[in-house]
Structure 1
Amino acid sequence: MDMFNKVTAFLQQALETHEPSINLLDSFVDHWKAITNYYIETTDESCPVKHTDIPWRLKQMLDILVYEEKQEGEETGSCMDYLLQHKILETLCTLGKAQYPPGMSQQVMLFFSKLLGQIQKPLLHLINVYRPVQKLIHLCGLPESQTEKEESQFLFALCTRVKKDPYVLNYILEVTRESQKQRSSSTSEESVEERCSGSSSAAGAPSSPSARTEAQLSSIPQTGIVPVLIHLGKSQKSRIALRATESLLLLVSLLQEDTEQLLAERTPVCHLLAQRLTELYCLVPSTLDPADIHSLPGLQWRTQFTEDSAEDSQSFPGSKHVYRFFCFLDFCDQIIKEAPKVLATKVAKAIHHQWLKGVIEPQLLQMSEVGILVHTALLSCSLRHTHSPVLLEELAQFLLGSDTHCEQRDESTSHNLRYCLIEQCNHISDEISITTLRVFEELLKKSNRHILTNLVLRNLEMRCYRLPGSGCGDERQGAEADVLEETDDLEEDPFFTDMYEDSGFGGQEPLLSLRGVREKHNPSTHIQAADVVNSFLCLVPQEAKTSHLVQEVGYDTYVHDANKLFKECSALSIEWNWPDSAKATESAPNTDFYEGHFLKMLFDRIARILEQPYELNLQVTSVLSRLAVFPHPHLHEYLLDPYISLSPGARSLFSTLVRVICELMQRIQHIPNVTERLMIIRRQLMGQEEETMMDHATLLKGVIVLEEFCKELAAIAFVKLPMEQQ
């Protein structure tokens, strides 16, 4: 029994015996001394670092630091103190710069990357940390570098750390108190120059935007983390370029006010982003097919780094450069969307100055039709890829200008580019006209109030298109009142009365009955929603109608599409504070009404719908349909109310369509079997028959588009009017 007790006590003592604890500091120092002894003892300078024990020693040192931090908690451990006091990071940076032994810079960058990524305590505010980090940044992005992979990893770890502790940014950017004082003084001087621009110009100070930009860039260091990240973003190795762009995105998305000021004013980030975007745009060939440009899918900036991007970018000649440009445009758009307001605005303005004004505008105003066509198509696609409100505002200002006053008929120089683009919609080249109309359609798809105001609403604000003193609409004088009664000119038109013959509006067309639904914006009128809808449905004479003979294009389809478009445009304009009702005009002066250059161009095009190519007609009606569906009372009245009393010389969309119908009725009288011919053309357009040469093909296609457009407008009115009563 005693023997058993002794054995038990011995085992218990053995279990309670602990191994002697390892001294972390001694081990850490031993590893560091082993590294330094290598440089003292070795004589073979050509031996690569991977053939030595240096990488293993560095890993052990890092593991000790990480383990010590977990043990010490909030306190700084002795190993970390030793690292800082003996300037180990400084020494490592020097060894990496010397590339001794060969490959040492990679090991140093890996050590820094893991140190910044694994140590949780703030480090970058310490002088013995941020000074070596600054030196290591200067070793990145050098020509013909063999360490791009390690550089991208190091910079990503650094940007991740700055994202976590934004206050350390000034240490990374090497901003001293003296430079901050210079920045504040230069900022105050710049504000004084802006207030006293006349005296500054007299003194020879830079007054133009380009001169000020160059002057500002000359005071900004062109080295540092931002230029390095831009450089690595151009790498042919997709993983390296992806990591660099991710790092830059982390850096610019810092939300503190002081950090965004530092990035905007003490780095060339705005200039370099705009410069890179301009470079990629200039690489796009001028011989592209606009159809290929318009067929591009929505590209995201990460797309170019995927494995399939190389194959996708070969879909048509020159597509590689197109893909790279639009991916970088999306990257700039994403940066502007995530960056704080001050920085986002400066990036957008730099893009406006360098890319839009410097490159795009001269190309749009050139004489070569081929060049105009390609660059207009690229502009249209660029608008489609722009989503950030700040960049969109710059695009709108670039294309349309800032004017909000009513346009004059002879006004063409207030914003030259806007006027030229509208004129290009009436270009002798139908392809240029179609492509330019797409630019305006893309503009109308954007959530920017200024676009609608500048293009249309500023000319409708005073409602001068109406006769002074008239109500919201002419009162109906019974069921037999003339639907198209607008002006004396129409009543005198010989084709006006012909439209109401029995053969004109036969019973085959289903008309709507919405009795009791009134217009909300002026309850004093007695215009019924059904009458408005039916006015558009009845415009095209029965012998020219063919849609009711095709099951696939029933009226329900138009209503469904109009409802979808109405919801889309209502969502865009929900925050624009548009009025619910039309502005009173009882005391408005009887001034000459001008619809503005944009609406004049659209109405002129609609007036020629019977003689224009089918694709051009589709584009014109698409733009007008989108305009008509916006929930502004003046737009609704001017484009969708058949009963407004127009002022002398004014025209509305409905009155323009009436003129087209009058011309149509005159021309189809000379075409035998017009309904059968229209059906053949319709089946050809739907791909049900092979296209063959036919007399009056352009006219017949125009008739089909006209019928479709009138049904679209009727469906829009059907969707909008009932909703206005809710």
Structure 2
Amino acid sequence: MFKFFSNLAHSASELLAPNLRPEEELFLQWHNLVKELKLRKGANIPVDDTDVPLRLQWIFNLIQQDTPDCIVSSISAPNDSLTISPCLEFVMRYKVFDWLVALAKTDKPAGIKSYVLFFLTNFVRTPSTIQIIPKSFMYKPLSRLIMACGRSSCSPWDREEMAFLRAVVDVLAKDQCLANLFLHNAPHDAVDRTESDVRSVDLPDCILPENEDQNRYINVENSRKERKRSSSSFTLNGENNTSDSFTFPLLTSLLRSVLNPDPVVSAQAREATIQLLRCREPVVCHCIAQSRLLEDALLPHFSKLYSCIPATLEAVDVLLRHDFGDLQHVVKSFVRWVVFLDQIITSAEPALTSSFLNSFYIELTSRTPCSFQQDWLCDIPARNDLSVAVFLKMYRISESLSMLETLSNILLNDCFFQKYLIFIQDREMRVIAFDLLNAMVQKPTLVFVEKTMLQFLDSRLYIRKDQRIHDTMWNTNMAEATDRADMFRILFPTSAKSCTVMEEDRDNQNYLRESYYSIEWLNQRCTNLKWPTFGPIPACNVLLAEESAFFDGQPFNEGPLLRVLFHYLSNLFVQPYLLNLRVTGILSKLCLIPHPTLGEYLLDPTVPLAPQSTSLYRSLVSLVQKMDEYARHTPGFRDKIVTTRQLIRDNQWSQLEKDDENVMLCAVVTLEEFCKELAARTFVRFNSSLHV
């Protein structure tokens, strides 16, 4: 009976008592939280068995409810000054965030770290955080908690840590200047961290605030200026080394989380890292470059993933198959890592990517610690095949021009390229070697085109000595352009064609349409390569050719790559069908590369060539002559060629490689289509030059 009246009196007093103001309610909740933590100290009671999670939620709700008034005041205030709400003033005065971070770092009582991370993650995501972060009571405890994230893998709070780091990165994406606040000065911040760890042992008396007369109304712009003044003693060119003591703990924690075995945490860490590297603050970028965070964290893991790929894996499994069985995780992890590196290069500051790519080049071309060079240069065919397949996979999935340039430099390294020329002439490895060449031609880079072709063609030594070209294919009219395209079209005799007139017209339209799309895509991709624009090729190159070569009797050298391609083209009638498709496909793509000299050499049949020079048109003329001779001595040649074309169209070409005659017939069909394709390529290149 007495208990009933007691509860009734308590309920009546609560009903009649006036409501507390938010800051008073916050004070009461914080006082009860500290009191309960003191009572539970040393008892080893999980935090879920206490009222701590509920009180943290109340504290967050009170701060959040009081925040909108703060935002409204800041909008009407002059000079973008921020009016601190009473609840935020309490948080700043009693160092609430500092104590919460200290509790999270010690995780006492057990499990409180997850709730503190959840509390601060939600607080960082509130709209007003971007205005509050420049204040020391906010960014200093956040920095200490950031440094504590990602230190151990497979911990119970990995996902909570990742959510907190992503929330901080999202705020920095809105205002990149705030990234300067999270730079870590080792001598200064080490003192802060030690003091925080000491305070975490003894819980505070929340009634007695510390440093009452501290400046709590720091302006956002003043905070930025103060941080910039502290970091203005070093510059981007590295003349002053005072920046060497600075690190970027936020990026360090994200890179540690990237290696987390939890796939969800790892994927979110990769996204957050790419978003953070879009920051263009000079001091932050210089700090990352000086500390070599990217190189030290990412490249060793790349070497580790490559070394995990077993040598017994076939190249087709790396390139084509999606189900690798037990090896699925290994190959997919490697591919995912290469995509991540490519995205970093695309997003980061050019100064950072330059340093990173230099280290990546050294990593692949050195014998240690990565075994890629050993696999490429050794005399074991299985390891050679696998290394080329991995390199081809990297080139195919890379989209950044800088990454493609670096991969091209690796291939054109002296020892690598000499070995590649051996691969492309080897019967067992030439298919995958041609696939790699096809990928590099499809996504051309400046270094690849110049070192493999242009350095041999720029002097134009392929032109006959007594001829001097002033008007080339890039300085002509539409009639001449059409005539030169028709020279490829009529090169293949009508009596040997395997298609009807209607089918030929349809094929010509398809080739024209595909050529227009391809050359438009290549023109956009090669815009930044600074190649000569469409126009007359300087005639002084011919004079240079006469002085340097013709008087010395030196033959024209088209370069090792074009020489190999022309060699395979000349043997078109004795090679397998798939190999012929690769050879003609690569030559067709080379014709679309938007460089005048390369286009003149490959697509202009009217250029008077020197006797020893080899060109695409001259090789085709020789092939057509061999085909005519073969057709005259083969009974029923026309019927056989029509039947062969039909079988190829029905994907039954494998039945045609059983004897030499069928191989020859397949090659004739390939030659017919190649001539039509080159005619379309020539017509499109002329149109491009006339309309630019």
Q: TM-score w.r.t. structure 2 length?
A: 0.79
Instruction: Provide closer, same or farther for how the CA distance between residues 266 and 183 of structure 1 changes in structure 2, counting only shifts above 3 A.
Output: farther
Q: C-alpha offsets along residues 158-201 of structure 1, whole Å, 9 cap, x if unaligned? A: 222333343443443412588979987994499xxxxxxxxxxx
1:719 aligns with one of 669, 673, 684: 684
Which of 97, 114, 135 is the aligned partner of 1:106?
Answer: 114
CA distance in 2, matches of 1:172, 1:661: 70
**Do the aligned partners of residues 643 and 270 (structure 1) sit closer, same or farther apart at CA in structure 2, a change above 3 Å counting?**
same
Which position in structure 1 is the counterpart of 2:409? 397
Inter-CA distance 114–721: structure 2 relative to 1 (3 Å threshold): closer
Instruction: Check conservation: 1:170, 1:262, Cα contact below 8 A.
Output: no
After superposition, where does 1:293-372 map in structure 2 within 5 Å?
293-295=318-320, 314=323, 318-355=327-364, 357=366, 358-372=370-384
Q: CA deviation at 1:34?
A: 0.8
**Whole-Å separation in 1 of the counterparts to 2:291 and 2:318:** 38
Please report how far the alpha carbon of residue 619 of structure 1 lies from its aligned counterpart in structure 2 after TM superposition.
Answer: 0.7
State the shift of 1:44 in Å: 7.8
Retained in 2: the 8 A contact 1:274–1:355? Answer: no
Summarize deviations over 1:60-116 as a string: whole Å, max 9, x none: 212222233322332123432332333332222232233222211111111221222
Cross-structure match for 2:78: none
The answer to whether structure 1 residue 66 and structure 2 residue 29 are counterparts is no
* Corresponding residue SS for 1:713: helix
How far is 1:124 from its partner? 4.2
- Of the three residues 706, 709, 721, the one matched with 2:671 is 706
Moved more, 527-536 or 365-374: 527-536
Task: Find the residue that maps to 2:574 and give its secondary structure.
Answer: coil
1:87 touches 1:128 (CA, 8 Å); kept in 2?
yes
Q: Does 1:675 align with 2:672?
A: no
User: Is 1:581 aligned to 2:544, yes or no?
Assistant: no
* 3-state SS of paired residue (2:544): coil
Q: Give 1:417's aligned residue.
A: 416
Structure-2 change in CA distance of 1:670 and 1:158 (3 Å): same
Could you say what secondary structure the match of 1:547 adopts?
coil
Report the CA distance shift for 1:267/1:26 in structure 2 as closer, same or farther (over 3 A): farther
Separation in 2, partners of 1:93, 1:435: 56
Q: For the structure 1 residues 170 and 564, does the alpha-carbon distance in structure 2 shift closer, same or farther, using more than 3 Å as the test?
A: closer
What residue identity is the alignment partner of 1:228? S
Identify the residue that residue 174 of structure 1 maps to in structure 2: 184
CA distance in 1, matches of 2:344, 2:516: 34
Shift of 1:390: 2.2
Alpha carbons of structure 1 residues 133 and 571: separation in structure 2 relative to 1, 3 Å: closer
Structure 2 contact 185–247 (Cα < 8 Å) conserved: no
Q: TM-score, normalised by structure 1?
A: 0.75
Letter in 1 for 2:585: S
Give distance in 1, aligned partners of 2:630 and 2:603.
26
Task: Please list the CA deviations of residues 413-442 of structure 1 after superposition, one character each: whole Å capped at 9, or x if unmatched.
Answer: xx232233233222232xx21222222222
Identity %: 22
1:598 aligns to what?
Answer: 561
- Give the superposition deviation at 1:541: 4.3
Tell me, in whole angstroms, the C-alpha distance in 2 between the residues paired with 1:625 and 1:420.
25
Where 2:185 maps in the other structure, the secondary structure is: coil
Partner of 1:385: 397
Extract unaligned runs of 5+ from structure 2: 1-15, 74-81, 190-230
Cα distance in 2, alignment partners of residues 399 and 270 from structure 1: 21
Does the 8 Å CA contact 2:158/2:265 hold for their aligned counterparts?
Answer: yes
**What's the offset of the Cα at 1:618?**
0.7
Paired position in structure 1 for 2:453: 456
Q: 1:444 to 1:96 in 2, by over 3 A?
A: same
Q: Who is 1:540 aligned against?
A: 492
1:627 matched to 2:580: no
The answer for the alignment partner of 1:164 in structure 2 is: 174
* C-alpha separation in 2, matches of 1:450 and 1:673: 49
In structure 1, what is the Cα distance between the partners aligned to 2:537 and 2:637?
42
User: In the alignment, is the contact (CA less than 8 A) between 1:425 and 1:436 conserved in 2?
Assistant: yes
SS of 2:609 mapped into structure 1:
coil
2: CA distance between counterparts of 1:721 and 1:570? 14
In structure 2, C-alpha distance between the alignment counterparts of 1:374 and 1:550, rounded to whole Å? 45
Whether the 8 Å contact between 1:469 and 1:586 is mirrored in structure 2 is: no
Structure-1 residue corresponding to 2:512: 559
2:521 is aligned, of 568, 586, 595, to 568
Preserved contact between residue 45 and residue 100 of structure 1 (Cα < 8 Å): no
- The answer to whether 1:269 aligns with 2:294 is yes
- RMSD over aligned Cα atoms: 3.4
Hey, what's the Cα distance between the residues in 1 that align with 2:608 and 2:51? 93
Deviation of 1:526 (Å): 12
Aligned in 2, Cα 1:99/1:444: closer, same or farther, shift over 3 Å?
A: same
Q: Gaps spanning 5+ residues in structure 1: where? A: 1-17, 191-215, 297-312, 402-414, 474-517
Bigger share in helix: 2
Give the drift of 1:253. 1.2
Question: Could you say what secondary structure the match of 1:425 adopts?
Answer: helix
